Amino acid sequence: MWLLAGILLVVIIIGLYVWLRRIRVSHKWYEFVIAAVGTIIFVIGLQNYFATRAEHWSQGTQLTFLLAFGLPGLTLLLLAGLLICLRHSLHRGAK
């Protein structure tokens, strides 16, 4: 299951990169690094959450994994997206 999820994730990332290049959105290398780190942290959080559910751990432990890994991962993904959007809107407004 995780192999298929990883393949799907790579296809989505490549599709997003190609789409951003096609519509000529300027981006920096560190924005993709931030997004990649956020994605990795988020996937680790999801994997830990589903593993604790499969092993029937307590509900508090499951939510701890989501809060400790999922929330920072989503925050980094949001930050990367906002950086790209802000750069695009500033570049567009300067014309």
Residue with tokens 């999801």: 46
pTM: 0.78
DSSP 16-69: HHHHHHHTT----HHHHHHHHHHHHHHHHHHHHHHHHHHTT--HHHHHHHIIII
Split at pLDDT 50, 70, 90, the class of 94 is: low
pLDDT, greater one: 53 or 93: 53
Domain boundaries, the chain: 29-95
Task: List pLDDT tens digits, range 11-36.
Answer: 888 888 888 888 887 778 888 899 88
Task: List pLDDT tens digits, range 32-83.
Answer: 899 889 989 998 888 888 888 888 877 777 788 788 888 999 999 999 989 9
Give the pLDDT score at 55: 85
Give the pLDDT score at 75: 94
